[in-house]
Chain A
Amino acid sequence: MFSSFMTNAWIVGTVVSLLAGATGFFVVMRGSSFAAHAIPNGAFAGAAGAALVGVTPLAGLITFAVVSSVGIGASRRHRGDVATALALVMMLALGAAFLSLSGAYEPQVEALLFGQILGVATTSIVPVVVIASLCALALAVMYRPLLFNAAAPDLAAVKGLNPQLLEMGFMLTLALGAALTVPVVGALLTFSLTVGPPAAARLVTRRPGSALVASMALSAITLWVSIAASYQSNLPVGFFVGTSSALVYVLARILTRWRGRRA
């Protein structure tokens, strides 16, 4: 399990899950789950397009994730959920079209959608770490404004906080994070990691700082367990990521109910 060809998976997996836990904390707090679900699908179209044109996947992933996040961020005022839903299906359909034009075979499609830990190349470690650090830095800068805006949007606006700018910044960070996560756990399951563990963390603790840390920890544990289980069972990593993220949330629900009954 810890042999040399798995090292890349462990390193990139850890970086990606910590980042997903951190962004997911804000996703759950701001109630932007739908956007967090849509953006990785944009990244999917990007990876498929990159395969068709023949450029490096990361370029396609980042371009499309950023474009879809800007689109969603800009159109959130009027019936935002419809715009998000349509952007999402359009991106998925585009990805499907790219894949059938390039004549991709089944395992490639599945790897993009449901993840492929063994596909992590050594050359991708440096870009992943660099981009993830940038995202972490951006989140650290936006930490207070995001909390303020989520807790008291009106007051935040009065204090001179530009909510649209903040939304855009957050969406861009989400997009960069998704572009890194999609190749590892897949376009359809990046979202599981971004919402399950953070939602569980929020149930367990009320204080924002400790919820953020708990969210990152739970997310990392979820991915580690998934990689290990996938390695042992030879089943796709996405299956374990999806089900264990949901399981973490259900356990947290049970825990809070049990604590509530005792108190």
Chain B
Amino acid sequence: MHWLFEPGIWSNPAVRTGVGVGMVVAVVSALVGLFTVMRSQSFAGHALADVATAGGAGAGVFGFSPLAGFVVGSLAGASAMEAIGVERVRQRDVATGVVLGGATGLSALFLYLITLNTSNAGSTQSILFGSLFSVSNSSFLVITVVSVAVCLALAALGRPLLFASVSPDAARARGVAVRRVALGYTLLMAVTVGLSAVVIGSVLSTALLIGPPAAALRLGRRLGATLALAAALGVGAVGFGVVASYDSFYWWPSHRALPVSFCVVTLVVVEVVTANVVARVWARRGANARA
């Protein structure tokens, strides 16, 4: 196993905390993200990530913890998107885009203000592209508590949400408050994006939200199995991503390690592509068996 785990990886406390945080967040993102993919809300999920960026950067300017900034920013963005108009799909697209664009402008301002303060060098990269190894033990605890709360809320919302996601009209006819369910789900998604931003950076958090569930949906048939598969794929991507990032320090003479977020995102994309290929092969084999 020496070729896989470079010396000292597990004795490093920052790596251990980072891996723990990453696994917890990967599970929550996968569970919440499954519905994002089913409801075709990837763009909204990504826009929340960009608004979370503004929140995280703002927190940096005013001296709050980035986690609080990510979550609060993302929740504010979700409310703004709901407020501007979601009546028609086309309009939703534009409303999402406008909120996203405005928020990115704010990020530009905040990040610039941070760089004026030279003691915070490297904060642009750590906010946008993540800094998993700098998560403290106390925020690990907060992240775990918030993650459990999100999972419980998702379980409470579960059946109506699933119904409303699969066929909104039928759900409405059966008396499900589709609008309220959608609002509740958007808020959950906002908190999840904030958590994920801590692990792989705010602009990349969509990867954990969308990627593992999209791969799992190609392969899984039943809901339980799909959820479990999505969580496993998310955890796998984060775990191996951290290891690859740690190892990459030794890969070339310049000793410039690849960012964790890059490794995680690459693994997520590989998972999705593989799942697509496997699903296509299965479908062909199924067609041949029937013929």
Q: Which residues of A contact B17 (CB under 8 A)?
A: none
CB proximity of A227 to chain B, nearest CB, Å: 14
**Residues of chain A within 8 A of B256, CB atoms compared:** 100-101, 103
A93–B207 CA distance with the chains assembled, in angstroms: 10
Q: Are A82 and B37 in contact (CB under 8 A)?
A: yes
Task: Tell me which residues across on chain B come within 8 A of A82, comparing CB atoms.
Answer: 37, 42, 210, 214, 272
Which residues of chain B come closer than 8 Å to A103, judged between CB atoms? 256
Specify which of B37, B101, B121, B256 lies most central, judged by the most chain A CB atoms within 10 Å of its CB: B101
Contacts of B128 in A (CB 8 A): 96, 113
- Does residue B75 face the partner (Cβ distance < 8 Å to A)? no
Q: Which of A141-149, A169-177, A242-250 contacts B (4 or more CB under 8 A)?
A: A242-250
- Assess the A239–B43 pair: CB atoms within 8 A: no
Indicate if the CB atoms of B98 and A243 lie closer than 8 Å: no
What is the predominant secondary structure among interface residues of chain A facing chain B?
Answer: helix
Give the secondary structure class of B's interface: helix
CB distance from A118 to the nearest CB of B (A): 14
Task: Decide if B102 touches A245 in the complex (CB within 8 Å).
Answer: yes
The total number of A-B Cβ pairs within 8 Å is 180
B93 within 8 A of A: yes
In chain A, positions 80-98 with a C-beta closer than 8 Å to chain B are: 81-82, 84-86, 88-90, 92-94, 96-97
Which residue of chain B is the closest to A103 with respect to CB atoms? B256
Asked if residues B101 and A239 are in contact (CB atoms below 8 Å), the reply is no
B13 interface residue per 8 A CB criterion: no
- Which residues of the partner chain B approach A195 to less than 8 Å between Cβ atoms? 94, 97-98, 101
Contacting pair B210 A94 (CB below 8 A) = no
- Which B residues are in CB contact (< 8 Å) with A86? 207, 210-211, 214, 268-269, 272
For the complex, is B109 an interface residue (Cβ under 8 Å from A)? yes
Tell me how far the C-beta of B52 lies from the nearest C-beta in chain A, rounded to whole angstroms: 13
Q: Which of B50, B97, B99, B100 has the most CB of A within 10 A?
A: B97
- Which of B43, B109, B265, B268 is the one whose CB lies under 8 Å from A81? B43
Chain B residues contacting A37 (CB-CB under 8 Å) are 43, 46, 97, 100
Residues of A within 8 A of B (CB): 28, 31, 33-34, 36-37, 79, 81-82, 84-86, 88-90, 92-94, 96-97, 99-101, 103, 106-107, 109-110, 113-115, 186, 188-189, 191-192, 195-196, 199, 235-236, 238-247, 249-250, 253
Chain B interface residues (CB < 8 Å from chain A): 37, 40, 42-43, 45-46, 50, 84, 89-90, 93-94, 96-109, 111-112, 115, 121-122, 124-125, 128-129, 201, 203-204, 206-207, 210-211, 214, 254, 256-259, 261-262, 265-266, 268-269, 272
